[in-house]
Structure 1
Amino acid sequence: MKPLYLPANQPADRFYAGGRQIAALRGTGPAASHEPEDWVASATSVFGQEPVGLTVLPDGRLLRDAIEADPEAWLGAEHVAAFGADPALLVKLLDAGERLPVHAHPDVAFAAEHLGLAHGKTEAWVVLEPARVHLGFTRDVGVDELAGWVRTQDTDAMLDAMHVLDLAAGDAVLVPAGLPHAIGQGALVVELQEPTDLSILLEWSGFRIDGDADAHLGLGFDVALAAVDRRGWSADEIARLRGATAASSGDLLPDAASFFRVERWTGPRGLDAGLAVLVVVDGAGTLAAGGATSALRRGQTVLLPAAAGPVTLDGDDLRVVVCRPPRP
């Protein structure tokens, strides 16, 4: 089994606008205006829109089906023993052509109780292009107060009650499930997350979505808003979510290890065998696995199946982000 170089997999007609940064990174043609996400090596579909979002392999099979047919080859025996045929990871490139609406994602317990799913949606961002983001409330917000903001779409009140972070290229940020957030216009991030598409929108006014119908995962707001973390987070607590900076290499977010692992490397490097998604964020070089060598360049995304074995990267100016599921 060989490393797989994957083309862009961008679901169409998302409710927020994308920019041109995914196309620029990948070196492809003009970008569609509402294709802001590239779902890399995805065995997860867009909520309520299967099979949209699922990666199609060069042989025409869905990656999800290929994994289910031979999970040990794709995921490794230790992973399968711990998680079954579940890849336990979704990686995206996200290009914010406009500020995203304020939203939150349910945690594992909420997703299991109300949606019958094994995963919530803790996520993390590795920032490629800088942006301002809103993350978590600065004070405790009451149940009725939050419901009132959502009902009246009082975006100013929501944003005024949130921490503001100016993220630089190279920053890495962990976003626990439940924490309200809004990624700012101009951001380009590698996003790691639990493998679901579960978003509870607190804001939708001005976006291409019917919030009354589609912002609450079909649960109704009385239930869905219970998934939102309304606690006031201190500035120090928010700062601790902001892990690595551009100068960092190796494990960028150790505190995320129970959900996913993310590493950044520059120059020649050996990678252990095991399922991984490789994003080449800059430079050029080569990838060697199983006795074969292939070229790497900026903007490529590569799926490394466990059966491909150890991988060697070469290239002095090569910069990569390596995304992996939680350690078994």
Structure 2
Amino acid sequence: MTTRPAADPTAADPTAGPTADASADVRPTHPVTLPANQPPERFYRGGARIAEFRGEPVTSERVPEDWVGSTTTLFGEPTLGLSPLPRGDLLADAVAADPVHWLGAEHVAASGPDTALLVKLLDAGERLPVHAHPDVPFAGEHLGLAHGKTEAWIALADADVHLAFARDVTADELDRWVATQDTAAMLGAMHRLHVRTGDAVLVPAGLPHAIGAGAFVVELQEPTDLSILLEWDGFAIDGPRDGHLGLGHATALRAVDRRGWSSDEVAGLVQADASTVGSLLPGGAAFFRADRVRGDDRWEPSFAVVVVTAGTGTLVAADGTRTPLRAGATLVVPHAAGSLDVVAGADLELVRCRPPLPA
């Protein structure tokens, strides 16, 4: 992990051209640098490394997630989770008011005003509970939603994760583990995988998983907050009440993939490592796209959420408007920004996250 430097030399250069003023308009034609957006009092600890990454003070031990460029709310919440733009307007409202401006005509024709993407920074100050997310058919049938929650992690620190069952698990066995909160049995039946800094891991919907303590990731996912808890004992959450999406565990647990995955299959979910530049998650292309950029680059017009993971640089628009980049910054890019040039400064590295291509 790289902390943010004190200053961006590009931003200070008076010959560098006009600098984007993101506060001026909810229809910007340039990338917009976003403030932190951390829902408070989550049920697991974390957040110190997000603060360090952004160069900001630690405010709580229970703000382990930063929802970046989010038009998605926490499950059951009317507004919590939605990203503000710098002057206070919600990104969701700006997109709804002019979806073609933000998302592009081709995307809107295929998906409507749905950004089809949620990006987070996640800092696990403790191991997360074993849980799973529903897929699109389950979410459609039981919740009336167009998205499930396939997700992916791009690791900013080394950590262990539990991922997928290593043997077939019967429905009765899973029911019993959940009812008795037999965490040892759950974890003992799962693969344990050591994720290294720079790895990109795809987590298909339905797959049980538990991110380990110390994990710090950029997380891409379908734009929902749908989690089915298999474990809650010892966490600050009422699992019997809140762990089943209001469906009851008897129904919710049907969304869990109980198949035994082989070691090779689980290894295949790691789709890139720290040496990979360009596309990181080809197996997740139906749900999201992620590219790692190092050095200069040229971007075609697209809605995007950007996380700068190291170094400094500049995004230059066709009209010469320059948006500074620095480690710890997060940005949202409207389609209307057009083609952009990435001009790398010292050790620039960033992750560009985008919705799937229109079908």
Which TM-score band applies after superposition, normalised by the shorter structure?
A: over 0.9
Q: 1:313 aligns with which of 336, 342, 355?
A: 342
2:11 is matched with which residue?
none
Equivalent AA in structure 2 for residue 203 of structure 1: E
Q: Which amino acid aligns with 1:253?
A: L
Alignment partners' CA distance in 2, 1:115 and 1:19: 30
Give yes or no for contact 1:262–1:321 (8 Å, CA) kept in 2. Answer: yes
Mapped contact 1:120–1:194 kept (Cα < 8 A): yes
CA deviation vs aligned residue, 1:93-125 (integer Å, no higher than 9, x gap): 000000000000000000000000000000000
Is it true that 1:235 corresponds to 2:260 in the alignment? no
1:75 matches 2:86: no
Q: In the alignment, what sits opposite 2:320?
A: 291
| 2:166 is the alignment partner of 1:126 | no
1:8-55 Cα distance to aligned partner (Å, 9 max, x none): 100001011114110111111114110000000100000012210001
Q: CA deviation at 1:57?
A: 1.7
In 1, Cα distance between the equivalents of 2:96 and 2:79? 16
CA contact (8 A) 2:272 2:280 kept: yes
* Cα distance in 1 between the residues matched to 2:344 and 2:303: 22
Equivalent residue number for residue 282 of structure 1:
310
CA contact (8 A) 1:107 1:177 kept: yes
1:40 corresponds to which residue?
Answer: 68
What are the superposed Cα offsets for residues 54-92 of structure 1, whole Å, 9 maximum, x if unpaired? 012234322111111100000001100110100000000
Inter-partner Cα distance in structure 2 for 1:302 and 1:63: 12
Equivalences for residues 1-328 of structure 1 within 5 A:
1-289=29-317, 290-316=319-345, 317-328=347-358
Distance in 2, Cα, partners of 1:285 & 1:60? 26
- 8 Å Cα contact 1:22/1:95 also seen in 2: yes
**Superposed structure 1 runs of 4+ greater than 4 Å apart:** none
TM-fit CA distance, 1:315: 1.8
2:10 corresponds in structure 1 to: none
Q: Kindly state the Cα deviation for residue 158 of structure 1 after the two structures are TM-superposed.
A: 0.3
CA contact (8 A) 2:127 2:213 kept: yes
Out of 199-208 and 283-292, give the one that drifted further: 283-292
State the distance in 2 between where 1:59 and 1:294 align. Answer: 17
Query: For structure 1, which runs of at least 5 residues remain unmatched after alignment?
Result: none
Q: Deviations over 1:290-325 (max 9, x none)?
A: 420132110000100000111111124100000000
Q: Deviations over 1:179-221 (max 9, x none)?
A: 0000000111000000000000000000000001000000001
Identity of aligned pairs, percent? Answer: 62
Whether the 8 Å CA contact 2:68–2:83 is kept in 1: the answer is yes
Asked if structure 2 preserves the Cα contact closer than 8 Å seen for 1:19 and 1:186, the reply is no
Q: Distance in 2 between matches of 1:23 and 1:59?
A: 21
**C-alpha distance in 2 between matches for 1:212 and 1:31:** 30
Structure-2 separation of matches of 1:27 and 1:142: 47
CA distance in 2, matches of 1:31, 1:264: 30
Cα RMSD for the two superposed structures? 0.8
Instruction: Give ranges in structure 2 of 5+ residues lacking alignment.
Output: 1-28
The answer on whether the counterparts of 2:33 and 2:86 sit within 8 Å (CA) in structure 1 is no
Higher mean Cα deviation, 105-114 or 14-23?
A: 14-23
Distance 2:88 2:276 in 1: 39
TM-score (norm 2): 0.90
**Contact map agreement 1:105 1:198 (CA 8 A) in 2:** yes
Distance 2:279 2:47 in 1: 29
8 Å contact kept, 2:294–2:350: yes
TM norm structure 1: 0.99
